[in-house]
Chain A
Amino acid sequence: MRPRPQTGRKLADLAVKVLSGVFAAVALLLLGWILYTVLQRGAAALNWAFFTELPPPPFMEGGGLANAIVGTLVITALATLIGVPLGLMTGIYLAEFGSHSWIAGPVRFVVNVLMGAPSIIIGVFVYGLIVLRFGFSGYAGAVALAILMLPVVARTSEDMLALVPNTLRESALALGAPRWRVTFGVVFRAAKAGLITGVILAVARISGETAPLLFTAVNSPFWPDSLGEPTPNLTVTIFQYAMSPYTNWQELAWGASLLITAFVLFMMLAARFVLRTRSI
């Protein structure tokens, strides 16, 4: 019997090994390239004026994105206030009552589908729901972001709560505690780190979103009087300014990009820290 050729196999094996290393290196390289670009161009734009002044008209030096920074903070905070409780309650329902409920299956399915829905469609939906009736507003933008947060928080909450062993629940119930007490007092406490991680990640996700705000909160070069009108925000500003031919605007867009990226990465690290140390 002829022995099977060895060199072909060994060569293929080596080739794939080398290729996989190359691919991994390329992934890291791309990451480094992107982060370096954002850092380099963004840092050049960050100065005191950036954080305190209003946007300049084209071609004028100076100015900043103070209104957009505040706007993003407020819209994100409002979205969190709406989306987290809703998502949390949904997650609780799925984890605690899931196996005794016929709607849990469909709800879980829809939650997963919504997580993958294009964020711009959510923006179009909120446009039809709110903007056509009440005009562009920061409220509409917050609602759109809340809808994006909802499935993420629901899913992570359900997963984290399901991890808590039932013995904990059973012992609490055996002591006579009502169901809701058991969930909020005992189960929550056990799953605290995981739940908080889920919320942090959801906030990180929406803070970088642009598409849902494009036709809800839109943008504004001034300090708004209230959230009931077009509200300035960093992400839509980046979109508008980056596509413009004005170099001063493009620089501001990079500054905003650095802020957003830094915030998102910071949140990611915070989530990891919480999860690793299981303390908060």
Chain B
Amino acid sequence: MKHMVAALALLAMGVPAAAGVTVQGAGASFPFPIYAQWAYAYNKATGVRINYQSMGSSAGIAQIKAGTVDFGASDAPMDAKDLQEAGLVQFPMVIGGVVPIVNLGGIKPGQLKLGDSVLADIFMGKVTKWNDPAIKKDNPDVELPDKEITVVSRADGSGTTWIYTTYLAEVSAAFKDMVGAGTSVKWPVGVTAKGNEGVAAYVKRLDGTIGYVEYAYSLQNKLPHAQLRNKAGTFVDPNTETFMAAAANADWKAKAPAFDVVLVNQPGEQSWPIAGASFILVREKMKNPQVVKAMLSFFNWAYESGGEMARKLDYVPVPDNVVKIIEDVWADKLSADGQKVWPVK
């Protein structure tokens, strides 16, 4: 209450308070649920404000390139050459999985199995009805109605789309030809929504829809996911274990300092086929050391203390040995107003 009166007075006078640093970030909606939780907890603990706007990976990259934010976030990693040209440093913040979500009268999570190229065919418009034999084949026990499939995909430049289409292009040559992989593709059928949020909201509202979202959106909104067959041939559910199994194959060290690892269709009995890391992008040469140090401290805090919160939402935290490599890159490459910013003294 007292806080409110003080804030009102401050606003009225237009006087900046000495308290609180604000760090601005923007980008992928894939990690937004966990970033928002981390930011909230961090603000409660330290008073530092991490203001993250979810607007899609491409927009995040554009904003960090333009310097309108302190950090950008993207699920589609930039390669070493592009990073060099743009003067950016990239590192993974959290790992998660993209899952197909289905809203079909009463179907339970994990009940529907979509094997091999069926998913790709649905998103290409080759399979148009729920009771198509291709779907029936893997789901003999499920009641499939004679209903049109409404495909929901992303309209904006999205890292989630990039991860998802990379997978579809790998398992279906036809998809690779017709649509291809990318952050924004021309979907042959269906409706589009913005952000993981938009897709989840759409599928939640409408019966007979199929979409793709980062797993936390499916879990928290109680949207049933479908099981997929992985490279090893097993039908798996998405969860922390299967994401970790996929991530275990990543060779982060070899890919440093760009860290542009792709976790799609990884080998392993338990691997979830559409896993991916979400990356943070910062400029190599920044201004305002106070803000930069606060930002890096936040990331460090998330690596060290944020694991539990991440796991609750079925994200996989970045392994400790990788964190070490990442923070060495910070110490090596990052500066603000000419001075080194890591480690914070």
A contacts B: CB pair < 8 Å: yes
Binding site for B on A (CB under 8 A): 52, 56-60, 66-67, 70-71, 73-74, 77, 138-139, 220-231, 243-247
Closest Cβ–Cβ distance, residue B314 to chain A (whole Å): 12
In the complex, the answer to whether A222 meets B217 with C-beta atoms within 8 Å is no
In the complex, the answer to whether A243 meets B51 with C-beta atoms within 8 Å is no
Closest Cβ–Cβ distance, residue B99 to chain A (whole Å): 14
Closest Cβ–Cβ distance, residue B241 to chain A (whole Å): 21
Q: B344: CB under 8 A from chain A?
A: no
Contacts A57-B36, A243-B198, A245-B221 known; list 8 others, CB within 8 Å: A52-B4, A60-B37, A74-B8, A221-B39, A222-B43, A226-B11, A230-B51, A245-B217
Asked if A57 meets B39 with Cβ closer than 8 Å, knowing A70-B4, A70-B7, A226-B11, the reply is yes
In the complex, the answer to whether A225 meets B17 with C-beta atoms within 8 Å is yes
Q: Which 3 A-B pairs have the closest CB atoms?
A: A57-B36, A245-B200, A245-B201
Nearest neighbor of A70 in chain B, beta-carbon distance: B8
Residues of A within 8 A of B16 (CB): 225-226, 228
In the bound complex, CA of A241 to CA of B197 (Å): 10
Residues of A within 8 A of B17 (CB): 225-226
Nearest neighbor of A226 in chain B, beta-carbon distance: B16
Q: B45: CB under 8 A from chain A?
A: no
Residues of B within 8 A of A139 (CB): 14
In the complex, the answer to whether A59 meets B220 with C-beta atoms within 8 Å is yes
Q: B254: CB under 8 A from chain A?
A: no
In the bound complex, CA of A228 to CA of B4 (Å): 18
In the complex, the answer to whether B201 meets A225 with C-beta atoms within 8 Å is no
In the complex, the answer to whether B220 meets A246 with C-beta atoms within 8 Å is yes
In the bound complex, CA of A247 to CA of B40 (Å): 18
Nearest neighbor of B203 in chain A, beta-carbon distance: A245
In the bound complex, CA of A73 to CA of B221 (Å): 33
In the complex, the answer to whether B40 meets A60 with C-beta atoms within 8 Å is yes
In the complex, the answer to whether A224 meets B11 with C-beta atoms within 8 Å is yes
In the complex, the answer to whether A245 meets B197 with C-beta atoms within 8 Å is yes
Nearest neighbor of A231 in chain B, beta-carbon distance: B11
Asked if A66 meets B220 with Cβ closer than 8 Å, knowing A58-B36, A60-B37, the reply is no
Closest Cβ–Cβ distance, residue B41 to chain A (whole Å): 9
Asked if A56 meets B40 with Cβ closer than 8 Å, knowing A220-B51, A225-B16, the reply is yes
Residues of A within 8 A of B43 (CB): 222
In the bound complex, CA of A246 to CA of B19 (Å): 31
Residues of A within 8 A of B40 (CB): 56-57, 60, 221
Q: B325: CB under 8 A from chain A?
A: no
In the complex, the answer to whether A66 meets B4 with C-beta atoms within 8 Å is yes
In the bound complex, CA of A139 to CA of B33 (Å): 30
Closest Cβ–Cβ distance, residue A80 to chain B (whole Å): 13
Asked if A229 meets B22 with Cβ closer than 8 Å, knowing A57-B33, A243-B201, A244-B197, the reply is yes
In the complex, the answer to whether B10 meets A225 with C-beta atoms within 8 Å is yes
- 12 of the cross-chain contacts (CB-CB < 8 Å) are A57-B39, A58-B220, A60-B40, A70-B7, A74-B11, A221-B40, A221-B51, A222-B43, A225-B17, A226-B17, A243-B197, A247-B221
Q: Would you give the 0/1 interface string for B173-217, flagging 1 where the beta carbon is closer than 8 Å to chain A?
A: 000000000000000000000100110110010000000000001
Closest Cβ–Cβ distance, residue B57 to chain A (whole Å): 18
Closest Cβ–Cβ distance, residue B97 to chain A (whole Å): 18
In the bound complex, CA of A73 to CA of B8 (Å): 9
Q: Would you give the 0/1 interface string for B4-34, flagging 1 where the beta carbon is closer than 8 Å to chain A?
A: 1001101110111101101000000000110
Q: B49: CB under 8 A from chain A?
A: yes
Q: B3: CB under 8 A from chain A?
A: yes
Residues of A within 8 A of B20 (CB): 222-223, 225
Residues of B within 8 A of A66 (CB): 4
In the complex, the answer to whether B22 meets A222 with C-beta atoms within 8 Å is yes
Q: 8 Å CB contacts to A: which residues of B235-277?
A: none
In the complex, the answer to whether B51 meets A67 with C-beta atoms within 8 Å is no
In the bound complex, CA of A161 to CA of B14 (Å): 35
Interface centre among A60, A70, A71, A231 (most CB of B within 10 A): A70
In the complex, the answer to whether A138 meets B51 with C-beta atoms within 8 Å is no
Residues of B within 8 A of A56 (CB): 40
In the bound complex, CA of A228 to CA of B16 (Å): 8
Residues of A within 8 A of B11 (CB): 70-71, 74, 138, 224, 226-227, 231
Interface centre among B7, B11, B43 (most CB of A within 10 A): B11
In the bound complex, CA of A70 to CA of B8 (Å): 7
In the complex, the answer to whether B14 meets A245 with C-beta atoms within 8 Å is no
In the bound complex, CA of A149 to CA of B32 (Å): 37
Residues of A within 8 A of B220 (CB): 58-59, 246
In the complex, the answer to whether A57 meets B197 with C-beta atoms within 8 Å is no
Closest Cβ–Cβ distance, residue A232 to chain B (whole Å): 10
In the complex, the answer to whether B8 meets A227 with C-beta atoms within 8 Å is no
In the bound complex, CA of A206 to CA of B217 (Å): 35
Interface centre among A52, A226, A228, A230 (most CB of B within 10 A): A226
Residues of A within 8 A of B221 (CB): 245-247
Interface centre among A59, A67, A231, A245 (most CB of B within 10 A): A245
In the bound complex, CA of A74 to CA of B8 (Å): 8
Picked from A58, A74, A220, A224, the residue with its CB within 8 Å of the CB of B12 is: A74
In the complex, the answer to whether A222 meets B49 with C-beta atoms within 8 Å is yes
Closest Cβ–Cβ distance, residue B275 to chain A (whole Å): 22
Residues of A within 8 A of B12 (CB): 74, 77
In the bound complex, CA of A245 to CA of B19 (Å): 33
Nearest neighbor of B222 in chain A, beta-carbon distance: A247
Nearest neighbor of B40 in chain A, beta-carbon distance: A57
Closest Cβ–Cβ distance, residue A42 to chain B (whole Å): 20
Residues of B within 8 A of A222 (CB): 20, 22, 43, 49, 51
Residues of A within 8 A of B198 (CB): 243, 245
Closest Cβ–Cβ distance, residue B250 to chain A (whole Å): 28
In the bound complex, CA of A222 to CA of B17 (Å): 13
